[in-house]
Amino acid sequence: RYAGVTISGITMADSPQWLKFKLLSVGLSPINNIVDITNYVLHELGQPLHAFDADKIKGGTVIVRTMKEGTPFITLDEVERKLSKDDLMICDEKDGMCIGGVFGGMHSGVTEATRNIFLESAYFDPVYIRRTSKRHVLNTDASFRFERGADPEMTIHALKRAAALIREIAGGKISSDIVDIYPEKMEPFSVDVSYSHVDRLIGKKIDRKVIGNILTALDIKIVATSPEGLSLIVPRYRVDVRREADVIEEILRIYGYNNVGFKEQMTSKVTHMDKPDREKLVQIISDHLSSNGFNEIMCNSLTKDAYYENDPQAVKLFNPLSTDLNRMRTNLLNGGLETIIYNANRKRSNLKLYEFGNIYS
């Protein structure tokens, strides 16, 4: 879904103090009134927005498309990146203006001289955005939210909210109708829930009326009931609730984990342990080292790719969370050195450390 509106005659300036304070309170640095408003609405409603300088849009047309493999594009951080044929781009009639849902372009953003803007609000496929974000190593607030699934029904509401704030703070007037391109309407999720599965996963039989009240309070619509279970419609903004297990987790979360009792009966089994007992040996060594002034450290098994560039045995993650956590460690040395550096930078030089952990190859 792609929507936008044009606002003309704005005045670029610093944001009012209340808006600056709101952004600073969530760790963002104020830039100018237009950018600050889009960031404010992003954190207020969870919908990413982007403002283009309307006078820089060649042909007065905005096109969402892909571009040829290897096409150069300069992003807002002034870095030239080679585009993939799978990158979704926001373009005018001639050039790309923005990597859709990820990062803006250097030559299409608003500046102090901007007087007319085109305000964009869209919903993008999370898979597309995640692949593009990881491909170009661009982790932005917009990509963070699109990757995890935004609410397509919030698109127009957020656009109107931002447009109203721009008129209030930056002046100008709305000079076009809202354009809303929504070729295939995304329907809410349908989920069937079995009472027997609810009882089994939660470990307790909850009154069926209580379950219904919980689901209704969560804005999950009950469309059909039977002695065996429920048929539900989950709103689109609940992108984390798509399966029966997700619904049961929500029921338990609201019902309260503390309200699920435990059996008084305790079961156990006899197991055979190889000699020597590794856990017992580790405990003996740990006690000995700790009693002699050593501190145990536990470093992340995920580490930087740069440590293992020339190591063919190092396991590389296919879909890493970040570039700093994209390899499985093949030794414990690098994590220990990072710990030493961290402490040395804080004037703690008298260090005695040890670690027990797994390595991977």
The CATH number of 189-259 is which of 3.40.50.620, 3.30.750.24, 3.40.50.2300, 3.30.56.10?
A: 3.30.56.10
The yes-or-no verdict on residue 189 having pLDDT over 90 is: no
**% of the chain with per-residue pLDDT over 70:** 100
Q: What is the pairing mode between strands 295-296 and 353-354?
A: parallel
Topology, domain 2-181 = Phenylalanyl-tRNA Synthetase; Chain B, domain 3 (3.50.40)
Residues ≥6 apart with Cβ < 8 Å to 250? 214, 215, 218, 220, 241
For the chain, domain boundaries: 2-181, 189-259, 278-354
Segment 116-133 shows an average pLDDT of 91
pLDDT in tens, 224-266: 999 999 999 998 888 888 899 999 999 999 999 898 887 777 7
Segment 195-204 shows an average pLDDT of 92
Whether the model clears a pTM of 0.75, i.e. scores above it, the answer is no
The yes-or-no verdict on residue 359 having pLDDT over 80 is: yes
Q: Where does residue 328 fall: left (phi above 0), alpha (psi -120 to 50 degrees), or beta otherwise? A: beta
pLDDT band at 289 (very low <50, low <70, confident <90, very high): very high
The CATH number of 278-354 is which of 3.40.50.720, 1.10.3720.10, 3.30.390.50, 3.30.930.10?
A: 3.30.930.10
**% of the chain with per-residue pLDDT over 90:** 61
pLDDT in tens, 50-89: 999 999 999 889 999 999 999 999 998 888 999 999 999 9
pLDDT band at 320 (very low <50, low <70, confident <90, very high): confident
